[in-house]
Amino acid sequence: MLRSTESIARPLETTLSSNDLPMLLVVLIWGANFSVIKVALADIPPLAFVALRFAIAGTVLGFILWRREGTLLPPRRSWLRLILLGVIGNTLYQVLFVLSLAYTTAANSSLLIAATPALVALFGAAFGIERLTRAIAGGVVLAIAGVALVVVARGVELSSATFLGDMLALVAALCWAFYTLGVRTLSGGMSPLAITTLTTIIGLPGLLLVGGTELVQVAWGEIGLVSWSGIAYSSLLAIVLAYLLWNTSVRNVGSNRTAIFGCAIPLVATLVAWPVLGEQPVLLQGIGALLIVGGVLLTRRS
């Protein structure tokens, strides 16, 4: 009787559980964020936009953390690691990502950023943070193949003209992989809310320094309601909520099982860009979507 029960339960492990539902929300938020940012950047320079959204997010997160936990100070032994995560996962990642879009195509940048799950799995195994199982490896390969189809269908340009931007996007992906693995290894009983808040606040000074000149030059009175809505969406949902859900998932189910959802972001970005930006998807992207979903489900066997 026990054997039959286990045989029934095992296939069910490939289905999405309540732990994965928040990550699906993250995928939807970050996927739509590409179109939101593209619309908002019509009124606001990119570095000023990044600095402003993190300033808003850091303020909101700091207030929530203070009300929930009564302090903004982490355990003393966690300071150095938090500083590294804040600078690498927020300051460097955001600047590199924005600059990569200036020197390469959006398709190239999306493909390289979407390689993050593979980097997380490989580095996590290399440093002994998480074991790379056959199911995780197979799921990552399948999902990355799906991402490649989605992005290739939109058009990928490989040339010397895009080389600098491609390298910036690749380094950005390495930064986010480092951040994800770093969150996984944080000790001291810190809550996901504290980790999200402190790394956001720590990353903010660098972003203000880089985007300060553009912030001063913005004609704030001429910014329309649509762009202000984009700032609110990109700050409160794409950072405050999505970062908190991401870090919670990393702490609860691991970096590999969390990072794999990043493969679905280009798919959602493509679907949202269809009605918002008029970028119509093609059949090849649908096939890629099936591979992405299959890869995510395969990791559930881990």
Question: What is the tens place of the pLDDT at every residue in 229-266?
Answer: 999 999 999 999 999 998 888 888 887 778 778 777 77
Task: Identify the residue with better confidence: 201 or 131.
Answer: 201
Indicate whether 3 pLDDT > 50: no
**Average pLDDT, integer, range 263-290:** 68
Contact between 176 and 116 (Cβ < 8 Å): yes
Contact between 270 and 151 (Cβ < 8 Å): no
Indicate whether 44 pLDDT > 60: yes
Contact between 271 and 153 (Cβ < 8 Å): no
Indicate whether 13 pLDDT > 50: no
Indicate whether 10 pLDDT > 70: no
pLDDT of res. 154: 57
pLDDT of res. 6: 40
Contact between 161 and 228 (Cβ < 8 Å): no
Helix (H, G, I), strand (E, B) or coil at 159: coil
pTM above 0.75, yes or no: yes
pLDDT of res. 92: 94
Q: Comparing 132-136, 186-190, 230-234, 274-278, which segment has the lowest mean pLDDT?
A: 274-278
Q: What's the chain's Rg over C-alpha atoms?
A: 19
Indicate whether 5 pLDDT > 50: no
Whole-angstrom Cα distance, residue 208 to residue 206?
Answer: 5
Indicate whether 205 pLDDT > 90: yes
**Average pLDDT, integer, range 90-98:** 88
pLDDT of res. 4: 41
- On average, the pLDDT of the chain sits at 78
Counting beta carbons within 10 angstroms of the beta carbon of residue 185, is it exposed (0 to 12), middle (13 to 18) or buried (19 or more)?
middle
Q: Comparing 2-6, 130-134, 286-290, which segment has the lowest mean pLDDT?
A: 2-6
pLDDT of res. 121: 78
Each residue of 159-168: pLDDT tens digit? 566 677 778 8
Residue with tokens 């895009």: 162
Question: Residue 296's pLDDT band (boundaries 50, 70, 90)?
Answer: low
pLDDT of res. 137: 73
Question: Residue 56's pLDDT band (boundaries 50, 70, 90)?
Answer: very high
**Average pLDDT, integer, range 28-56:** 86
Indicate whether 9 pLDDT > 50: no
